[in-house]
Structure 1
Amino acid sequence: MTRELPQGYRLVEEPPPVEAYLALRRDSGLSPRTREQAVAALPGSWYACHVVHTDTGTAAGMGRVIGDGGWYFHVVDMAVLPDHQRRGLGDAVLTALLARIRQQAPPGAYVNLLADAPGRRLYARHGFVETAPASIGMALVQPSQSTQARKRS
C-alpha cells in the first residue's frame, strides 16, 4: 500500500543525506541534532525513506523506523518542511513505513511512536491509538557533553 505523492515529489527508500536530515529536523520544528548524532543514527534505521522535491532537489520530508526486526518497531523522525506541508507528504512517508513493517515484520509486532500535537491526527488516521493511562511515554535524557564539561569546571 503506497500513497500517491503530488506531482513534483518522489519517494526515496533510504534515509536522507546527513545534512538534509539535520535541516529537516531543525526546519520542521523537531529538536536539532548534531552531525555526529546523525552520522551514528541514520545507518541504524531498520527502514527509512524521504521525499524529494524534484524541482529543487530538496529533501522535503522524512521518516524512519528503528527496532529489532522481530518484535519492536518505533517510528521516529517524522518531519516535513513547512513550505511543503499540507500536500500529503507526511501521509505518504508514514504509509511507506507502515507498509514495510506489514511486509517484513512477524505477526504481532509492536509498532509505536511518540506523537507531538501536530502529527496526532495523521497517526490516528493510520490506526495509532493513545496508550495512556495504561502506559505513558517516558524519557531519560542524557546530558550533553557541553553540560558535562561545565559541571566539571
Structure 2
Amino acid sequence: MDDDYELVRGTPDPETFCALREAAGLSARSLEGARRGLPNTLFGVRAERRGEVVGMARVVGDGGTVYEIVDVAVDPAHQGRGLGSAMVEELVGYLDREAPPRAYVSLLADVEGFYERWGFERTAPGSRGMFRRVDADGRFSDGGSES
C-alpha cells in the first residue's frame, strides 16, 4: 500500500458508503439502508488519502456463529495500490482474533482469484450461494442479473 494512504478502523458515513459502492461498480444501496446497517458493523476499515475515504471493507454477522465479509470497495482512481488487499488483511486479522472455533465466515466474491490467498474456497458444488433482493419500491424482486 502506498505511503499516501492510511487505514482507519470504522466505516464511512452513509453518504460516502453509498457513493463509494457505486463508484467501485458494486450494486447501489439506499441511504436509508446504509443509515440502518452501518451501525451494526462488527468490524470495519476504510482507506483514506488526505482525509478522503477512497476505500472500505467490513465484517457483519452475529459475532459468534456467522460472519460475512462485505462492501470491499476501492474508488477506481485509487485501485492498483494494494488498498483492497490491505483492508481484507485487516478484516482477516479481526476474524482470526475474534471468531470462535467452528464459526462460519463467508463472502460473495466479485473478483476472480482475489480471496483465495486468505484461505477462502468456492462453496460449489457442496453448497450454492443464493440471494433475494428488495427493489427500490420495497418489494422483493426476481433477482435479475445485478450483483
* Secondary structure of 1:75's aligned partner: strand
* Secondary structure of 2:114's aligned partner: helix
Which TM-score applies when normalising by structure 1? 0.86
Percent identity of equivalent pairs: 41
In the alignment, residue 142 of structure 1 is paired with which amino acid? Answer: V
Q: Larger C-alpha radius of gyration, 1 or 2?
A: 1
Which TM-score applies when normalising by structure 2? 0.89
Residue 146 and residue 138 in structure 1: after superposition, are their counterparts in 2 closer, same or farther (change >3 A)? closer
**1:54-94 deviation per Cα after TM superposition (whole angstroms, max 9, x unaligned):** 2xx22111111111111101000010110111110000110
Q: Which residue of 2 aligns with 1:131?
A: 123
In the alignment, structure 1 residue 66 sits paired with structure 2 residue 60: yes
Q: Which residue of 2 aligns with 1:37?
A: 33
Q: Any residues of structure 2 matched to 1:101-120 within 5 Å, and which?
A: 101-116=95-110, 119-120=111-112
Provide the aligned C-alpha RMSD in A: 1.5
The structural deviation recorded for 1:141 is: 1.6
**Which consecutive unaligned segments of at least 5 residues does structure 1 have?**
149-153
Q: Any residues of structure 2 matched to 1:1-153 within 5 Å, and which?
A: 5-54=1-50, 57-116=51-110, 119-145=111-137
Higher helix share: 1
After the TM superposition, which segments of 4 or more aligned residues of structure 1 sit over 3 Å from their partners? Answer: none
* Secondary structure of 2:113's aligned partner: helix
The structural deviation recorded for 1:110 is: 1.0
The structural deviation recorded for 1:120 is: 2.8
Report the number of matched residues: 140
**Which consecutive unaligned segments of at least 5 residues does structure 2 have?**
141-147
How far apart are the structure 2 equivalents of 1:83 and 1:95? Answer: 21
